[in-house]
Chains A and B, each alone.
Chain A
């Protein structure tokens, strides 16, 4: 199985087989030594990253712009990435979450309006599309730490350990943060003032 194929078969819940991890580790080392070797990493993770961003911003064009930023940042800072059991995807997701939060801050009005991306969600029932847009707007108004923990765990399927490794905290802290974040999201959805 080729390197790319091994990574493509990585499970959607964020875990990877040992073979794929070893292959990726070698690719990362090559890219650290020579940025021109970053291409395979980009191709292996692009879909996961742009998908994660799209779920957050609901706009395909903005998602591609932000994904470009994420990979540019990753390529520039790859030498700071340390392979200690945290998959590269988690590291990329952390950069993506940061980019989304910055985007939401820059585009406050757009981000917090229940925007519909009609081209890409046309096959969903109107009520679901509107509800998704409202949910997205509510999530984007939460503090950045709450957005990140909810998105990584519930939208991207990372387990508590991976979320902790991604955000630099322990599992207990993740649990606690998840509880508070869910409560904050509930208040937003019910249009209650944040406490």
Chain B
């Protein structure tokens, strides 16, 4: 299969290899995306455009010394070869200024791979037309991201890895009035116009409920149901330096009391980094292959942390292929026994929380989190949705919400592809059930 970007990356690497000396090793990581981003507001186009970006990282190794540089590729072979030559010269020059790195580790066993799924997606322009047509008459706001993402790795030991995906992620919300909205998402590798229509229909059908007089509730403890999206915010916060080996070893993980076995989560809580079920590349920038599945919490007890190559060397452990930041990319929470169809009945009276927002730790060492409800949060009475609820702040410990106060998790799980686009389009995802929780603390 013709793969111009892969061939370009390998050609650059082959050239770079000719520039290194006998006592040097070279590692290279490549990233490229050709993405269209169409931003909508009030059912109209706000900012449409296309971004074509390619980056190369070269890391030169001499014994226990190493130094690297990232630069943008122009994708003009002659220009980029010159940049590669200058970069390697500069790296070599600076190498003499840095000491040995006792924590440096890179893969020396060769594990090559190629994983290409080039979809037959309609163009971003076609999708934009469809979205405008299907959403006509609605106040919808959000973004369509569409295009191809490629990752590559190569080293002078002979390893070559390539990953490419064509995909889309349409992340939007349909507003009723004020801050009352239904949040939706449609992402994947194959586009189906009927799925888009059904998602807009779902939002249209719920707008009438949002138009009911909103209920303002008092701070206190409530029975709540967190949808997979809402629960994703909770696990997303934990992903921020809590499942990290470095955080565990330096006592900075918010799960410290769980690690020290002073606390436990509910026995139904199984959390893993499910690389096999993820949507990103299976290799990292040091050439290590990610372990298919890393069990982090099993039956409510701490098992392990994500261990990068650097932490593996520093703490004398094995790496599981985690990225340098030890941030999960394919987090999964095991399913429970509650059928999704019974959620409202089992909730009885309480809050159905579709989305949480802006979470942070209010007391990290107690793993106490605060955040807001957002978009569609409903008051449920007698197993039926009775009113939208004005936004509320919660402040609650993970050990309560996924510990003693966890009533059940849903049987069904949702695979949510991250719509994040900081610096580049995300290839992270989560696979999560919903959670029924009692005595959930709302504070403001």
A and B held together in a complex? no
